[in-house]
Amino acid sequence: MDLGLEGKSAIVTGGSLGIGTSVALALAREGCDVAINYRRHDDEAKEVVRRIEAMGRRGLAVKADVSSYTDAENMVRTVVETFGRLDILVCNAGINWDGVIWKMSEEQWDTVINVNLKGYFNYNKAAAMVFKDRKGGKIVNISSINGMRGKFAQSNYAASKGGEIALSKSLARELGKFNVNVNVVSPGLVMTDMARNMPPEALNKSMSETVVGRIATADECADLVVFLCSDRARHITGEVIKIDGGQYI
């Protein structure tokens, strides 16, 4: 199935690990040049670029702080100059720093909000300015079902993820007339390093919440993201699509 992605250019934030890596490689597989943002994992980021280039596409790794608008603006500018265009933004970079509200510090709150919510604002704004001028583009923001239902000891994380959803719906309204689609993918627990490092009882509890008896892989999340970035999804915008095996229900 031709998804119409051949020759397009994409940015994936948080692309050196987990869902971000799977998304970056899936987009390259469909013919995109892909730039990834990362903060700490230099070797992993270089490996992602190597794998993108092995598919015959151009890859780029940019070390940048997503909570800095200047870094976001500079990355978008660098990608446009290097690849000659920008068609797709996938915001995925995020952190968690859990604690019940009566023990949560101001630093815990501010750090998670600055990365997860302000970081999405920074890249969405920088990319939207490009997309608005060229009259086209795709934005997919990776949120979480916990931004829709809340989660014990994750008030900062859940608030940031709920904010990403509200941000995306607002941008879908603002950018629709410029032929820009903005959608949200909300995973449940996904089998990434974070899940593998969870205590077995917590992992089993999350798995028992699903109706399919397992949790998603990063590649399954990437398949949905790629579809939303494609021409096949040109009439879909402002949507929040859960990929959780029924964990939310």
The pLDDT tens digits for 61-76 are 999 999 999 999 999 9
- 194, pLDDT greater than 80: no
Q: Catalytic residue, from 38, 120, 157, 248: name it.
A: 157
Model's pTM, two decimal places?
A: 0.97
Name the CATH topology of 9-190+218-241: Rossmann fold (3.40.50)
CA dist 24 → 20, 33, 38, 66, 183 (Å): 6, 9, 12, 17, 17
Instruction: Read off the DSSP letter of residue 150.
Output: -
pLDDT value at position 129?
98
Lowest mean pLDDT among 1-10, 41-50, 105-114, 194-203: 194-203
Alpha carbon distance 17, 35 (integer Å): 14
Q: Would you place residue 51 in the very low, low, confident or very high pLDDT band (cuts 50, 70, 90)?
A: very high
Residue 69 bears catalytic tag: no
Summarised one tens digit per residue, pLDDT across range 79-125 is 999 999 999 999 999 999 999 999 999 999 999 999 999 999 999 99
pLDDT value at position 5?
98
Residue 127 vs residue 195, higher pLDDT: 127
Question: Do residues 56 and 31 touch, judged by C-beta distance below 8 A?
Answer: no
pLDDT value at position 245?
97
pLDDT value at position 210?
96
Cβ-count burial 121-132 (b if 16+ within 10 Å, e if not): bbbbebbbebbb
CA dist 170 → 148, 160, 185, 202, 239 (Å): 16, 15, 16, 34, 11
Domain ranges, ordered by start, for the chain: 9-190+218-241
pLDDT value at position 61?
98
